[in-house]
Chain A
Amino acid sequence: MAIEIDGKSFETDEEGYLVNLNEWIPAVAEAMAKEDDLALTDEHWDIINFLREYYEEYQIAPAVRVLTKAVGKKMGKEKGNSKYLYALFPYGPGKQACRFAGLPKPTGCI
């Protein structure tokens, strides 16, 4: 599978995750969101960027529980809860947001 953006092809695995995370550009997230019938807002981007920073620092995509706690610590309790995160990413803040962010499926995501 692959995503086409402006004539450039981005290879994805069978679950839709980007194969090479170094290739990621914001347009990849936009294209993936469009396929999921989702329009990305600033609130989405806060989480996507947070995930990319987390991966940069720890070399893993965090499990949902870990993401929720970390978001709560950084952005406050009103955002660090699963209700808020699932409202943003209906297919799961771990799986869907990590996919948009170009990360692998979260470690500890079962």
Chain B
Amino acid sequence: MSEDIKNFLYLNRRAPYGTIYAWESLEVVLIGAAFDQKVSLAFVDDGVFQIVKGQDTSAIEMKNFSPTYSALGDYDVNQLYVEQESLEERGLSVDDLMHLTWEDEDEDWAEKDSIRVVSRAELNKIIEAQDVVFSF
């Protein structure tokens, strides 16, 4: 690994369909993943609604982009931090979220969980450790 590799965190704080932020963030993540950087995502506040399972946009004539989160592992984005407090405030638990995984090529494609539920205090330390934070 080169010393130029930096830690990028995408901070997602908005629900998926009311504004364009969530989809824009996802697109930037996928484009940014082409560069060799260490990328992780954080879901905070209404951002946790982005990865709730069972989304079906067929009746609102919008693209359902929730399946795209499952492709993040293919793009080597496999650290998805979800803030515990934000889930609780919204009556959600990790069981309400999509089961997002990545496959570890070095371990014969073993499937591993991408989502890590962290407390606000833990997330603050994660933010502190980043080189760059992109907010959406």
Contacts and interface: CB of A to CB of B under 8 A. Distances in A.
A43 interface: no
B38 to A, nearest CB: 16
B65, B75, B105: residue with the most chain A Cβ atoms closer than 10 Å = B75
A58 B75 CA distance: 12
Contact of B65 (A59, A62, A73): A59
B31 A107 contact: yes
Interface string B46-87: 000000000000000001110110110011000000000000
Interface residues of A, number: 15
A65 interface: yes
Contacts, number: 40
Interface residues of B, number: 17
A58 B30 contact: no
B33 A59 contact: no
A36 B34 CA distance: 27
A107 B29 CA distance: 10
Interface string B7-34: 0000000000000000000010011011
A97 to B, nearest CB: 16
A26 interface: no
B30 A108 contact: yes
A66 interface: yes
B31 A59 contact: no
Given A60-B30, A73-B109, A108-B31, 16 more contacts: A58-B70, A58-B71, A59-B64, A60-B71, A63-B33, A63-B34, A66-B74, A66-B75, A70-B74, A107-B27, A107-B30, A107-B31, A108-B30, A108-B34, A108-B75, A110-B34
Interface of B: 27, 30-31, 33-34, 63-65, 67-68, 70-71, 74-75, 103, 105, 109
